[in-house]
Amino acid sequence: MFDKLHTFVPTVGSAKGLLWSCALVFVLSFQIYGKRIRVAPNLVLFCDPDAHAAIYGMKSNVRRSTFYVGLTKNIREKTTLNTIDPSEHARRRKVLNTCFTDNSVTAVSSLIGQQIDRLHEILLDEHDSTTEWFVSVDFGEKIDHLAFDIMGDLSFGRSFNLKEPGDNSLRTVPHNIIQYLKFYYPMCRSPFLSSINWLKPRGLDRLMELVTPRPVQQFNEFIFDSVKRRVELYEKEGDDHKNKRRQDMLYFLCKAQDPSTGHPAYTEDELRAEASLLVIAGSDTTSPSIAGIFWYIVRAPRCYQKLVDELQRTFKTADDVVYGPKLMGCTYLRACIDEGMRLVPPGPCEPPREVLAGGLDILNKHYPQGTIVGTASWYEVAGVTKEMVAGIRSNFHPFLSGPGSCAGKNIALAEIFLFVSRTLLCFDLRKTPGSTVGEGKPELGWAERDRKQLQIADAYISLKQGPEVQLRKRERSEANSD
């Protein structure tokens, strides 16, 4: 097989320990070598909308690669994410979709708004609600805590209150999630992945449990305790409390039944595995994108003011912002959010797919069975004409597409739209004077030197720093009303 791929240009990524600055390195690689590059003996990446459609389309002759099996704690943990058989994945995805109906998005948007408003209250209380510039704030950390609280509210029916002042034993959990991914993700990228997956049910899983770092263990304990508590509540409530039940995501997973047997669709191990997926997908994918949007917008005064002007023309105050057509109709807001997610995607790596029997044609080239293919994040230096913007948008898929698309896309968008709009109507923001957090540096490696680019590392999710900002209360009199 490798011989069949020898005509495709090989390239390398920039490694930071065992994490990769792949997104920015691939940008330059595609600029140098064209629309396709071979980054491993059996892995070919593309940067083209037609390639994306060929790989991730509903009828594409591919399946999820064994990369996803390596991402799990043990072989017993079957989730929608790591199920590589297409028919089994479709069955699991159908069950998961019950958590993300249009009605559920409308219902949870009010809960998201309440969490955002509470964070704003805390920020104002901490700084005496003055209209002077606050001391520097690590806005990235605030966003992480908010996203985690929203995830808890939507997944487990309770906020974990990380954003609240005072001590909280759970405040380390977002850090532990990152440590979890840092621990397992390098194995997915290992050239010995097939051997690792073969060994997992043959003793490697048990060995990994013994050498698992303490932060990773703490994350696993958090998942175990949270699921146990929620399942006990579900069983305690029974059918008599049907109308009083909090219908969060775990409720729907507990309720789901296998249509062929009538038994629960998930074992207890599988419930914990799906809960782990919901925790990571519900917090550590949206927060990097939101942080990225603010990192860039406070460095672009003209764009910042244009966005604020649009929001103030559309809404009198932050309290008037609700998720719906009026908010989604803010075209410049949508443009800023899309650009932020393009530059800092929820997942910076390619979603790898394995070509099945019969092969796959991509950009007029045939790829044999067993080849791993994927598309990296789209990047174009400029997008100043309608044609260029249309070209960028044609391959803009922050939540993927096809059968592997993100089930919670609409909830994630509701969270992002509500937070960006309400925050900019409540506060004026600026980059902390002198702050270089997140910027590239001349002494760093290839693709990491641009000070105007937020540096991200790939651990399946985007790892970032910052932004550091200053805020001040926005006077209501500033708002324009029609």
CATH of the domain at 102: 1.10.630.10
Cβ within 8 Å of residue 40, ≥6 positions away: 191, 372
CA distances from 68 to 63, 74, 84, 127 (A): 11, 12, 8, 45
Looking at the structure of the chain, the number of domains it has is 1
427-431: strand order across its sheet: 137-138, 468-473, 427-431
pLDDT digit string (tens) for the chain, length 482 residues: 444 554 444 444 444 444 455 555 666 677 788 888 888 888 999 988 899 999 999 999 999 999 999 888 888 788 888 899 998 888 888 888 877 777 777 778 889 999 999 999 999 988 776 678 888 999 999 999 999 999 999 888 889 999 999 999 999 999 999 999 889 898 888 889 999 999 999 999 999 989 999 999 999 999 999 999 988 888 887 765 555 667 788 888 888 887 777 888 888 888 888 888 888 888 888 899 999 999 999 999 999 999 999 999 999 999 999 999 999 999 999 999 999 988 888 888 888 999 999 999 999 999 999 999 998 765 554 555 666 666 666 667 777 777 878 888 889 999 999 999 999 999 999 999 999 998 888 877 766 778 888 988 888 888 899 999 999 998 764 445 44
In the numeric block, the tokens 């991509």 are attached to 362
Task: Provide the whole-model pTM.
Answer: 0.88
Structural domain including 46 reads 2-478
Neighbours of 125 (CB within 10 A): 10
